[in-house]
A = this chain, B = another copy of it.
Amino acid sequence: MAKSRFEYVRTYEQDTTLLPNTYIVIRLDGRGFHRFSARYGFQKPNDKRALDLMNAAAKQVMRQIPDVAGAYGQSDEYSFVLGRQCRMFDRREAKLVSTFASTFTAHYQFLWAEYFPGTPLDGSMLPTFDARAVLYPSMREVRDYFSWRQADCHINNLYNTCFWTLVISGGLSERDAEQALMGTNSGDKNELLFSRFGINYNNEDVIFRKGTILIRDMGVCTSTSDSSDAAADLGERQVKSRRQAEREEKKRQKAEVAELHVDIIGDEFWTDAGRWIV
């Protein structure tokens, strides 16, 4: 059997390798979740069960992939950040994005029955997710990335809260609700909720307004590296012994994954040294 005659086809494989010493953010998005959420009767504007299920699946990803330093989720998306020194799969992009998509998908389905006990999945519409990887050379950009996603959460949730309140409590058609919100700014929307429906937006469930942050609770934070900078990280890498690295990996695996619903745009969250920095 002339195997070798065909092996030349391997030379067509072109692995994209992610630049060393940069943070890797992998963002998953639910595929066709507009239809999916309608099919399985998700509550509007937010379904707490669905968010809890997303968070539970993401925690499992963090437990099984110790390279993940932290994560942020909202709606049907989840972003995982890998440390700049991460060597998983030799930083091959296709391996990384496909593995994260597959692992998240597996846990989401496995945990489904726990969060939607009366609603079995239908094989013709299973939950699936796509993924992408983005590189950031500095911690500043990683912070700004997560600020961007949390700002996005806020903007969407404020809009959706208004929209569905107008439809459900206000009796408007979806088209009329859309019209009513056209051109309004944040202040207008807050005012609309309060004056017409007595709703103080700031009293809405914080998980809806802020999304979910997952971090490893390492006890007293003797972080694997300080928050300073690329140069320092690099120096440290060369100094840190293999044994030390293995000890830290074990510690990370054993650490509980903590779930937070707090502001990550301001400085406070990040001043706890070492947050998401590895």
A positions within 8 Å CB-CB of B: 1-3, 5-17, 19-22, 28, 31, 60, 84, 93-95, 97-107, 109-111, 121, 123, 126-141, 144-145, 147-148, 151-152, 154-155, 186, 228-231, 233-235
**A163 vs B144: C-alpha distance when bound (angstroms):** 51
Say whether B22 contacts A130, CB under 8 Å: no
Q: Find A231's partner among B12, B138, B235 (CB 8 Å cutoff).
A: B138
A95 with B132: in contact, given A31-B102, A121-B110, A137-B138 (CB under 8 Å)?
Answer: yes
Say whether B230 contacts A140, CB under 8 Å: yes
Q: Which residue on chain B has the smallest CB distance to residue A132?
A: B94
A257 to chain B, nearest CB (A): 15
A12 with B229: in contact, given A3-B151, A123-B60 (CB under 8 Å)?
Answer: no
Say whether B101 contacts A99, CB under 8 Å: yes
Say whether A138 contacts B234, CB under 8 Å: yes
Copies held by the complex: 4
A51 to chain B, nearest CB (A): 20
**With A3-B152, A31-B102 given, can you name 11 additional A-B contacts, CB distance below 8 Å?**
A6-B145, A9-B141, A12-B19, A13-B132, A21-B141, A60-B123, A101-B101, A105-B106, A107-B123, A107-B126, A138-B234
List 9 contacting pairs A-B, 8 Å CB cutoff, sorted by A.
A1-B151, A3-B148, A12-B135, A14-B19, A98-B98, A102-B105, A102-B130, A106-B126, A140-B231
A137 with B137: in contact, given A94-B94, A103-B128, A105-B106 (CB under 8 Å)?
Answer: yes
Say whether A134 contacts B12, CB under 8 Å: yes
Say whether A19 contacts B135, CB under 8 Å: yes
**A105 vs B129: C-alpha distance when bound (angstroms):** 10
Q: Find A137's partner among B5, B132, B140, B230 (CB 8 Å cutoff).
A: B230
A161 to chain B, nearest CB (A): 14
Q: Give the residues in chain B near A144, CB-CB below 8 Å.
A: 5-6, 8-9
Q: Give the residues in chain B near A155, CB-CB below 8 Å.
A: 1, 3
